[in-house]
Structures are given as structure tokens and as C-alpha cells.
Structure 1
Amino acid sequence: MDALIYTAMSGAERALRGQQVHANNLANADTPGFRANMELATAQAAPGYGYDDRHLSQLQANAISTKQGTLRATGRELDVAISGNGYFAVQGPTGEAYTRAGNITLDADGTMTVNGMQLLGEGGPINLPQNSRIEIGQDGTVSIQSPGGMGEMQVVDKLKLVQAEGTELTKNEAGLIVARDGQILPTDNTVQVRAGHLEGSNVSAVEEMVATMSLTRTFEVQMKLFKAADDMTTAGNRLIGG
């Protein structure tokens, strides 16, 4: 009887946590470059002697969807989006991390930032001198024109662009993408960017709502199992008591 209770309890907990994952995805449906979190459940044996036939479900929400979001033209010279697979490198709170967000801004000293984090180039954070125009090439090359609009475009640095399989990536506590093994990803020269564009979130509101409704039904089933287990326990006690 208690094996059924373990199953129902574990299933209900997994449904509740799964709803939290999808609720977070929905909350970021309009966040540029956001990558949806994926919830994966695995079986885990209950620890302790005599619990060999009792298993719990363990939720893992550290996988991300690599599906590309919709690209929209902005015309802004500092907006960039990645075409296909790949990520921008940024200096996160705990070290190098990766993002698909490309809404670049310049701070007071000319350092390129994304959402308050320094954007990394091949030589570290990219710092631009005074200029009249900025141009970001398809390969990530950052060029500027000297003040006054005179002279040719001069290359200052190149965005650090990386690429990895979805199974090799996860998110850290800051919500930034990092390598699952904790290592720094190498530069990938095949990654291409599109200037004057931004990539939207890859969250599908319809898919997230359907998943949430499915988890709600699953939770209701687990509650019915709890009730069934309680009824059977009561009936068993009645039989034993004569």
C-alpha cells in the first residue's frame, strides 16, 4: 500500500515543479533571445533498506531548447541576432557565459554590454573608442568610423561566437547559458550574425499552455490515487479489526 503512496506523492511533486518550469517559460515569452527550459523526469529508487520496490520521479529542469526564435528587423546598428546555431559570449557574474540576446548597448566608457553584462570579443571585453558609426559584420567583426564621418571603417575587434550541442549546455543561477561540464567554449568561426535584427524568445505560448494543462490533469490523477490508497488502507484496517 505504501508503494502506491510513494508513487502518487512523487508524481504530484513532479507535476507541481513541472508547472513552475512552464510558468517561467511563459513569463519570458517576450524576452529577446530567451531559451525555454525543458523539464525531464527520471526514475530514482527510494533510499533505505526494504524500499527496493519503491521509486520516486526526479525532475531535472536543466536542459534548454535550442529551437531558433523569430528574427525581426530593427534597423538599429547595435542590434544583432545569430543565424542558426551559436551564442554570444558575455562576462557573467561568475565568469564567461553565453546568451542569444543581441540588444547591445554602450556604457559610459564605450564598453559593449548586453543586459548589463560585458560583451566579449576575441581579446576580452570590447571597448570602442569615440566614433561616428559602428558596423557589425556577418562574421561578428566590429568596425567603427572615426568621429566626423571621415575615413574608412576600421576593425576594432570581433565578437566571440561559440557553438555547442543542446545536450552540452545548461543554465546557471543567473539564467545564462553555460557548458554543462563547466568548461569555456572555444570560438567557432562558422557562426553567422545578422546586424539590425533581434531574435525573440523561442517559447511557444501554445505549447507551454498545453503542457501546463496536461500537468494539471496529471496532478489531479495523483490526488485520486492518494484518495484510493487512503480508502484501501481504511478497508484493510477494518478487516484486520474484525
Structure 2
Amino acid sequence: MDRLVYTAMTGARHILEQQATTSNNLANVATTGFRAQIDAFRAVPVQSDGLPTRTYVVDSTVGADFRSGAIQTTGRALDVAVRGNGWLAVQSADGSEAYTRNGSLKVSENGLLQTSGGQTVQGEGGPIAIPPDSEIAIAGDGTVSVISTAQAQPGPANVLGRIRLVNPDTRGLERGSDGLFRQKSGLPADPDPAVQLVSGAVEGSNVNAVDAMVNMISLGRQFETQMSLLKNAENNAAKATQILALT
């Protein structure tokens, strides 16, 4: 069978994978703190006795766009956005430390400070427990303090802890299936006092919806091109069969 079939097949398969990535980006265009996924491909020449005129497509490791999204002011006390580079440290479902830019926080039924996705926010001394009937304030350095509202006269502010803020090298981060980032080494990152938060605001997704839509249209046309190549290979094989039948 002509190698054109295999060449077009690999191109079509990886275009479908890239369409899935672009679709995922579009689905998360309104997700707080989302980082767009990036597909990387490389061409590998076909090894044969003939001239190296054809290549296969190989999918490289999927990366992420670490550019910051737009900061949106909400005025909500439990909303924080990371200013510039940096991450919030959270506890993932398997108990390991992971990192997110989702600063839309909440207080769980057990009084723990969590993200909107249900991950427990890590403090420098462990999880941060919020007492009931309290008004919460989060400072720019991640310090969490509360004022009791159980009495008629508000009491003094009590500092509960400080959110663990880190800034590891993005080249050493990888995205997990849960959407959280972790260090490839598996080790927790060191706290970075230079990371600052913006209170009463959240960071939007860094996905550009227009660019993603244009990319989806372009991928659709590329897929049609690969299908045309497969049809041409089929037609060539049919014509060759007819010629051989005549002889």
C-alpha cells in the first residue's frame, strides 16, 4: 500500500487530537484562572530506500500557556487573584500538593478554606480553619484574618494563618488530569514571599475565544485536506488495479 495512506492518516489523527485540545480551551474560556493547553507537533522523516520526501507527524508533550489572564473585580471578600507570577498551593484529592490560579475561595462545611473546585487551600502551617460567625479578610501577602460577628460589638481581628504562595519555574510544572499543576519532580515548591494577591478580584481564563475559534476552523480545513489525500491514494490504487487487470 502507498505510504501516502499512512502519512495522511497520522496527520488526520493528530489534527483530531489538536481539535480536542482547542475544544477544551473553548469550554474553559470562562473558567477562573484557567491556563490554555498547547499542542506541539514535530515532523519525522519516513525511513525508506527512496528519497526522504515524506514525513510522519508525531505529537510532543502537551504544554500550557502560562500568560496571566485579565483580573476581574468582584468585591467578594473570599475572592483573590494572584498579581503577576505565582500560584496558590492546594491539597489535591490524593493528598499531594498542587497549584492553581483559581482564587474563587469558599468555606467548606467543616470550616476549611477551599477553592470553588473543593480543593483545600494550604496555609504555611497547614489547612486554614475558619471559625463560624466570622467576617473574613485576606491581605495582599496572603494573611487570613477574621473578625467575630457573634457579638453586637465587633471584636479585634484574629490572624488565622497565611496562604501558602509559591512561584516555581514553569518549565518544571505539568498539568494533571484534574486541571491542577504539579512539579515534575514531585517535590513541593518553596514559599515565595514576593507573590502578592489582589483581594476582592479573580483572574479570568487566558484563553482568547476568537483565536481559538479561528484555530478550530483552520484545523477543520487541514483535516479535510488529509481526507482528500486518502481519497487520492484510493483512486490511484483503483486505477493501478485496472491497468494491471488489462495486462
How far apart in 2 are the matches of 1:130 and 1:193?
24
How far apart in 2 are the matches of 1:33 and 1:67?
10
Stretch of structure 1 that moved more, 61-70 or 79-88: 61-70
Alignment partner of 2:173 out of 169, 173, 196? 169
Describe the superposition over 1:149-200 as per-residue Cα deviations: whole angstroms up to 9, x where unpaired.
5443232111111123433222111121222333322212211100100111
How far apart in 1 are the matches of 2:227 and 2:77?
55
The equivalent of 1:119 in structure 2 is 121
How far apart in 2 are the matches of 1:122 and 1:46?
53
Instruction: After TM superposition, give the deviation of residue 60 of structure 1 in Å.
Output: 4.2
Q: Calculate percent identity across the aligned residue pairs.
A: 38
The equivalent of 1:9 in structure 2 is 9
How far apart in 2 are the matches of 1:43 and 1:9?
14
Unaligned runs of 5+ in 1: none
Residue aligned with 2:202, SS: strand
How far apart in 2 are the matches of 1:137 and 1:228?
64
How far apart in 2 are the matches of 1:112 and 1:132?
13
- For residue 65 of structure 1, what is the amino acid of its counterpart? D
The equivalent of 2:134 in structure 1 is 132
How far apart in 2 are the matches of 1:45 and 1:174?
35
Stretch of structure 1 that moved more, 81-90 or 180-189: 180-189
How far apart in 1 are the matches of 2:125 and 2:57?
45
Residue aligned with 2:14, SS: helix
Distance 1:191 1:233, change over 3 A: same
- For residue 229 of structure 1, what is the amino acid of its counterpart? A
Instruction: After TM superposition, give the deviation of residue 6 of structure 1 in Å.
Output: 1.4
Contact 1:21–1:61, Cα closer than 8 Å, also in 2: no
Distance 1:131 1:63, change over 3 A: same
Instruction: After TM superposition, give the deviation of residue 131 of structure 1 in Å.
Output: 5.3
Contact 1:104–1:113, Cα closer than 8 Å, also in 2: yes
The equivalent of 1:39 in structure 2 is 39
Unaligned runs of 5+ in 2: none
Instruction: After TM superposition, give the deviation of residue 2 of structure 1 in Å.
Output: 2.7
TM-score of the aligned structures, taking structure 2 as reference length: 0.87
Q: Give the CA RMSD over aligned residues.
A: 2.5
Matched, 1:103 2:104: yes
How far apart in 2 are the matches of 1:123 and 1:2?
64
Contact 1:132–1:144, Cα closer than 8 Å, also in 2: yes
How far apart in 1 are the matches of 2:142 and 2:163?
5
Instruction: After TM superposition, give the deviation of residue 85 of structure 1 in Å.
Output: 1.2
Residue aligned with 1:185, SS: coil
Equivalences for residues 185-200 of structure 1 within 5 A: 185-200=189-204
Stretch of structure 1 that moved more, 207-216 or 173-182: 173-182
Stretch of structure 1 that moved more, 9-18 or 38-47: 38-47
Contact 1:138–1:194, Cα closer than 8 Å, also in 2: yes
How far apart in 2 are the matches of 1:103 and 1:116?
11
How far apart in 2 are the matches of 1:216 and 1:93?
37
Stretch of structure 1 that moved more, 21-30 or 178-187: 178-187
Distance 1:190 1:8, change over 3 A: same
Contact 1:37–1:61, Cα closer than 8 Å, also in 2: no
> Size of the alignment, in residue pairs?
241
How far apart in 2 are the matches of 1:167 and 1:44?
25
